[in-house]
Amino acid sequence: MKGEDRKAAVAAYKERKVVAGIYAVHCVPTGQRWIGRALDLSTIKNRLWFTLHQGNNPHRTLQSAWNESGAESFALEEVERLDDEPLPYARDRVLADRLRYWCAKFDAEAI
CATH number (domain holding residue 82): 3.40.1440.10
pLDDT at 1: 66
CA neighbours closer than 13 Å in the CB half-sphere of residue 88? 2
pLDDT at 33: 97
Does residue 43 belong to any structural domain of this protein?
Answer: yes
Amino acid letter at 66?
Answer: W
Record the pTM. Answer: 0.84
Does residue 6 belong to any structural domain of this protein?
Answer: no
Tally of domains within the chain: 1
pLDDT at 49: 98
- What is the gyration radius of the CA atoms in the chain, in angstroms? 16
- What φ, ψ does residue 87 adopt, rounded to 5°? -105, 125
Does residue 61 belong to any structural domain of this protein?
Answer: yes
Q: In terms of residue numbers, what domain contains 59?
A: 17-110
Q: In angstroms, rounded to a whole number, what is the distance separating the alpha carbons of residues 4 and 77?
A: 36
Does residue 29 belong to any structural domain of this protein?
Answer: yes
Does residue 57 belong to any structural domain of this protein?
Answer: yes
- Binned average pLDDT, 10 residues per bin, the chain of 111 residues: 79 77 97 96 96 96 97 97 80 94 97 94
